[in-house]
Amino acid sequence: MENNASQDNPLTDDLPPLLRKFGYLQSLSPEEADLLLKMHASKKTIAKGKVLLRQDDIHKYCFIVTHGWAYRYSDLYDGSRQVINYYLPGDIISPFALVMPRVNYAVATISSVRVSIYKPEYLMELFATQPRLGLFYAWMLGREDSSMAEQIIRIGRRSAYQRAAHLLLELYHRLKIVGFTDHRSFYLPVTQSLLADTLGLSVVHMNRTLYRLRLENLIKIRSHKISLINIDRLKEIAEYKGTYLEQMKSLYEIEKELQKIKE
């Protein structure tokens, strides 16, 4: 494995999209780059529609998605299904594998998905030796926490119409952060059935809800490419605040505070 990750480093295009986006790669120390390379050493592409992790499986690996979509879900006895969250490029699947012996909720791919696979034990090394990367990891966890909180609010207290608008906005913004949007549109590889299972609706009503959004000229869908035509109006409808997606203390700020503590 390459050891010296210098300016023109071997952390290629295939690496965690978020690190790239946040401009962290430029400022990585050799040790940080080294650890990242180690954690991204093993890669794999999984075909679409495959179950990546099954409930009650033993947790052996963590994954970072670099391309494609996956989702975490639970199957219920009556045949219905609830999607808990989506994994988009940059997201970590099974971030708690180190301390949870078994998979609590299944994970499946939506599109073809490319992941970096690493042993959860590397996380110990990450936290112990590379605090900046540890903070970055923690930030990812915080973001997922917020994302799940939004999902709870969405399905707990919003109408179908609002839920749909809200979810579409969230997906749009998350994809935008990692550069997978094109103007106001993005590739949405999900079926309406999956959207329904995400928003706690029936397929029929999901269909009618999307129909209404199209009718009102808020969105446009053609062969899984969706355009958010009137984002402002969608935000109004959904009562959307995407603040949680952007906010992150700069590492500089955190380091400053840590200094204060030590004094």
What residue ranges bind a second copy (CB under 8 A)?
72, 74, 76-77, 80-84, 96, 98-102, 104-105, 119, 121-122, 124-125, 127-128, 131, 134-135, 138-139, 141-142, 144-146, 148-149, 151-153, 155-158, 197, 199-200, 239, 243-244, 247-249, 253-254, 257-258, 260-261
Least spacing, CB of residue 223 vs a second copy, in Å: 28
Least spacing, CB of residue 65 vs DNA, in Å: 20
Q: Is 191 in the site for DNA (CB under 7 A)?
A: yes
Least spacing, CB of residue 248 vs DNA, in Å: 33
Which residue stretches of 86-223 are H helix?
Answer: 121-129, 131-157, 160-177, 192-199, 203-215
Residues numbered 45 to 104 that lie near DNA (CB under 7 A) are: none
Q: Which window, 82-90, 146-154, 172-180, 187-195, contacts DNA (CB under 7 A)? A: 187-195
**DSSP 8-state class, residue 26:** G
Residue 235, token pair as written in the block? 């935000």
The distance in angstroms from the start CA to the end CA of the chain is 40
Q: Is 161 in the site for DNA (CB under 7 A)?
A: yes
Among 3, 223, 243, 250, contact with DNA (rule: CB under 7 A): 223
Backbone φ, ψ for residue 5 (5° rounding): -90, 90
Q: Is 192 in the site for DNA (CB under 7 A)?
A: yes
Report the helix count and the strand count for the chain, using DSSP H and E. Answer: 10, 12
Q: Residue 261's binding partner, choosing from DNA, a second copy, none, with beta-carbon cut-off 5 to 8 A by kind?
A: a second copy
Q: Is 204 in the site for DNA (CB under 7 A)?
A: yes
Burial-class residue 217 by CB neighbours within 10 Å (0-12, 13-18, 19+).
exposed
Kindly tell me the sign of the dihedral angle through the C-alpha atoms of 28, 30, 35, 37: positive
Residue 172 has a CB neighbour count (10 Å cut-off) of: 21
Residues numbered 131 to 160 that lie near DNA (CB under 7 A) are: 159-160
Q: Are 135 and 24 in contact (CB under 8 A)?
A: no
Q: What residues line the site for DNA (CB under 7 A)?
A: 159-161, 191-193, 200-208, 210-211, 223-224
